[in-house]
C-alpha cells in the first residue's frame, strides 16, 4: 500500500491545504487514537507543538479527534520534538504527537507520531493508521469521551533530562555560547539549560510571534549565528531548527560545522572512552565521503541508509549502534534519546570542548570534506526520474564518477523536489554533472 498522508517524517504540507487541514488533523487523531486503544487502562496521548500560528488550530483539532475516540490528552505547549518523545515514555502515554513542520517556513505544518516507547512509528503502523482514515471512526460512548489537560512543568522536566546527559563532573563556567533557537520550540528550554550549567548565554531566535519561525534564523539560516559569534567573541555557537531536533555548530571564527563533522567528533570520543556501541556510526547516503574516511582512521565503520532519521534509527537498533544521524544535523544518540535532539547533541559537543580545553576550531575540524554539491529541482507533478532523458544523464554521470565519487538522486519525501547530489575529488566535474542532471530534470 502506497502511503497517501505520511512521508519520510510524518505528515507535512501547506496549512489549510490537504493534508494539513483541521478536518484531516481531527481524523488523524481519531485514527491514531483508535489504533493505540489497547487494553483496559485509561488511554493517554501527549501533544506538543512548535511556535507556528497554525499550531493552535491543529492542536485543537487533534484534541477533538483523540478525545472523541476515548483518549485523554496531555498538552505540553511549545516543546522540542525530542521532548515529546521523552515525555511520551516518562508519562506512560500510549502515543505522542508533535505538531511541527521542522525547518520549513511558518505557513507549513506537520504531524509526527511517536509510539509508547518514544520511537517514531514504523511504516507498517503508519499504513495501518492510513487504512483507518478511509473508514468512519468508532466514536466513544458519551461517558467514555476523553479529557484534556495542560501541564505547566513540561519545560522543567525536559531541561532536567537534557542536563542529565551532560557529564556530572563538568560545568560550562567561563564559556560564552551563542545559541539560535530559530524562534521555534526550544526558544525557552535551550538557553535555560545552558545557563543552568554555568554558561554565559547569548540567545538568538527566542522571540516567536507565530510567523517568524525559521525566518532568517536557526540551522537553515545560520548566518546570523555566525556573525553573532564573531561579534560577541564567543567560544562557540549552536543553531537549532524549528522543532529543535537538528543542530549545526559554529566555531569561534564563525566557521559552520555540519552533522557529519559532529558525528565524527562524538564517535571518536566515544570510541576512546569505550562507549561506542556496534563499532559503527549510522548515516544516510547523503553523508560526505570524508566522514567515512575519517571514521576509518579510528577503525569505526559507517553504515549508510536511505534519507530520513527514522531509517537511521531503524539501522541503529538493528545493528546495535548508539550514534547516528544526518549531514543536516539530525544527531541521534540512543544512549539518551529515541530521536534526534539538537540540545543533547550540542551538550555532548560542549563536553568535549570543556574536557579538551582547546578552541572550538580545533576540536570541530575533524576531516576535510570531499567536494559535494546538492541542488534541488522543483517539479509540477509527473515522475521526472522515470523519463528516458533523465535516466540516461544519471547513468552517464554514474559511469564517469565510478571509483572517484558518488551520485545520489532522490525525490523529497516532504516537498515536490528532486534532490540531486554528487561528490568526488574533482569539484569542477561534480558541478558539471549536477548541472547536467538538474537541467534534464527541469525540462522533463
pLDDT in tens, 390-443: 999 999 999 998 878 889 998 887 678 999 999 998 999 999 999 999 999 998
Give the whole-angstrom CA distance, residue 280 versus residue 292. 10
Whether 65 and 145 have beta carbons less than 8 Å apart is answered as no
Check residue 1 and give its pLDDT.
Answer: 47
- CATH code of 11-153, in short, is 3.40.120.10
Q: Contact, 103 vs 219, CB < 8 A?
A: yes
Q: What is the pLDDT of residue 330?
A: 95
Query: Quick one: pLDDT at residue 2?
Result: 54
Per the structure block, which three cell numbers stand in for 339? 530521536
DSSP-assigned states of every residue in 146-188: --EEE-S-HHHHHHHHHHHTS-TT---TT-EEEEE-TTSTTTT
Instruction: Give me the percent of the chain exceeding a pLDDT of 90.
Output: 88
Q: Does residue 254 have a pLDDT over 50?
A: yes
> The domain at 372-442 falls in which architecture?
2-Layer Sandwich (3.30)
pLDDT for residue 91 is more than 70: yes
- The residue from 54, 68, 102, 280 that is catalytic is 102
Range 119-140 average pLDDT:
92
Q: What mean pLDDT do residues 253-259 have?
A: 97
| pLDDT tens figures, 4-41 | 788 767 899 999 999 999 999 999 999 999 999 988 89
Cis check: omega of the bond before 32, within 30 degrees of 0: no
For residue 317, give the 3-state DSSP assignment: helix
Write the pLDDT tens digit of every residue in 154-193: 999 999 999 999 999 999 999 999 999 999 999 999 999 9
Q: Which residue has the higher pLDDT, 3 or 74?
A: 74
Q: Percent of the chain at pLDDT above 70?
A: 99
Cα separations (Å) of 186 from 100, 183, 346, 437?
12, 8, 13, 38
Domain with CATH 3.30.310.50 in the chain: 372-442
Beta-carbon contacts of residue 20 (< 8 Å; ≥ 6 apart): 11, 12, 13, 14, 54, 58, 108, 109, 110
Task: Identify the pLDDT of residue 375.
Answer: 93
**DSSP code for 74:** E
**Cα separation of 305 and 323, whole Å?**
13
Among candidate residues 349, 336, 178, the one with its CA nearest the CA of residue 258: 349
Q: What is the pLDDT of residue 3?
A: 64
Task: Return the sign of the alpha-carbon dihedral for residues 194, 198, 202, 206.
Answer: positive
Q: What is the pLDDT of residue 31?
A: 97
- Domain over 259-341 is classified CATH 3.40.120.10: yes
Is 334 catalytic? The answer is no
For helices 123-133 and 22-35, what crossing angle results, to 10°? 120
In the chain, CATH 3.40.120.10 sits at 11-153, 160-255, 259-341
Return the closest-CA partner of residue 366 out of 282, 223, 276, 269. Answer: 269
User: Counting beta carbons within 10 angstroms of the beta carbon of residue 193, is it exposed (0 to 12), middle (13 to 18) or buried (19 or more)?
Assistant: buried
Instruction: Kindly state the average pLDDT of the residues 211-219.
Output: 97
CATH annotation of 160-255: 3.40.120.10
Per-residue pLDDT for 123 more than 90? Answer: no
User: Looking at residue 42, what is its pLDDT?
Assistant: 92
Q: pLDDT tens digits for 332-379?
A: 999 999 999 999 999 999 999 999 999 999 999 999 999 989 999 998
pLDDT at 305: 95
Separation between Cα atoms, residue 281 and residue 354, nearest integer Å: 24
**What's the whole-number average pLDDT of the chain?**
94
Q: CA dist 308 to 10, 62, 339, 410, Å?
A: 11, 25, 11, 12
Hey, CA dihedral for 165, 115, 213, 211, is it positive or negative? negative
Amino acid at each position: 500500500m502506497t502511503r497517501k498522508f505520511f512521508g519520510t517524517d510524518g505528515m507535512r504540507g501547506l496549512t489549510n491545504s490537504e493534508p494539513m487541514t483541521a478536518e484531516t488533523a481531527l481524523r488523524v487523531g481519531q485514527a491514531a487514537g483508535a489504533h493505540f486503544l489497547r487494553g483496559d487502562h485509561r488511554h493517554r496521548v501527549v501533544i506538543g507543538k512548535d511556535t507556528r500560528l497554525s499550531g493552535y488550530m491543529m492542536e485543537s483539532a487533534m484534541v477533538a479527534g483523540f478525545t472523541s475516540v476515548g483518549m485523554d490528552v496531555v498538552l505540553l505547549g511549545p516543546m522540542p520534538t525530542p521532548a515529546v518523545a521523552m515525555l511520551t515514555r516518562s508519562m506512560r502515554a500510549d502515543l505522542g504527537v508533535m505538531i511541527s513542520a521542522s525547518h520549513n517556513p511558518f505557513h507549513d505544518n506537520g504531524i509526527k507520531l511517536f509510539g509508547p516507547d518514544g520511537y517514531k512509528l514504523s511504516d507498517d503502523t503508519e499504513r495501518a493508521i492510513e487504512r483507518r482514515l478511509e473508514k468512519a471512526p468508532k466514536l466513544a460512548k458519551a461517558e467514555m469521551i476523553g479529557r484534556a489537560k495542560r501541564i505547566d512543568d513540561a519545560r522543567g522536566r525536559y531541561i532536567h533530562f537534557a542536563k542529565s546527559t551532560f557529564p556530572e563532573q563538568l560545568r560550562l563556567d567561563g564559556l560564552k555560547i551563542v545559541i539560535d533557537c530559530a524562534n521555534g520550540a526550544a526558544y525557552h528550554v535551550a538557553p535555560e539549560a545552558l545557563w543552568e550549567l554555568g554558561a554565559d548565554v547569548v540567545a538568538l531566535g527566542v522571540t516567536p510571534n507565530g510567523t517568524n519561525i525559521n525566518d532568517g534564523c536557526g540551522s537553515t539560516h545560520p548566518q546570523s549565528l555566525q556573525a553573532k559569534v564573531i561579534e560577541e567573541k564567543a567560544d562557540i555557537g549552536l543553531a537549532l531548527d524549528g522543532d529543535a531536533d537538528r543542530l549545526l555548530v559554529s566555531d569561534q571564527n564563525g566557521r559552520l560545522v555540519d552533522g557529519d563533522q559532529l558525528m565524527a567528533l562524538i564517535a571518536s570520543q566515544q570510541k576512546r572512552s569505550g562507549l561506542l556501541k556496534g563499532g559503527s556510526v549510522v548515516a544516510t547516503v547523503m553523508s560526505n565521503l570524508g566522514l567515512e574516511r575519517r571514521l576509518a582512521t579510528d577503525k569505526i565503520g559507517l553504515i549508510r541508509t536511505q534519507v530520513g532519521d527514522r531509517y537511521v534509527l531503524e539501522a541503529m537498533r538493528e545493528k546495535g549502534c548508539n550514534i547516528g544521524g544526518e549531514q543536516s544535523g539530525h544527531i541521534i544518540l540512543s544512549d539518551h534519546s529515541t530521536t534526534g535532539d539538537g540540545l543533547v547533541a550540542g551538550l555532548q559537543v560542549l563536553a568535549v570542548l570543556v574536557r579538551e580545553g582547546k578552541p572550538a576550531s580545533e576540536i570541530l575540524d575533524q576531516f576535510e570534506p570531499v567536494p559535494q554539491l546538492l541542488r534541488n529541482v522543483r517539479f509540477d507533478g509527473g515522475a521526472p526520474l522515470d523519463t528516458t532523458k533523465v535516466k540516461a544523464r544519471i547513468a552517464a554521470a554514474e559511469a564517469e564518477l565510478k571509483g572517484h565519487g558518488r551520485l545520489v538522486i532522490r525525490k523529497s519525501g516532504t516537498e515536490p523536489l528532486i534532490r540531486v547530489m554528487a561528490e568526488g575529488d574533482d569539484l569542477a566535474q561534480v558541478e558539471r554533472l549536477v548541472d547536467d542532471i538538474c537541467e534534464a530534470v527541469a525540462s522533463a
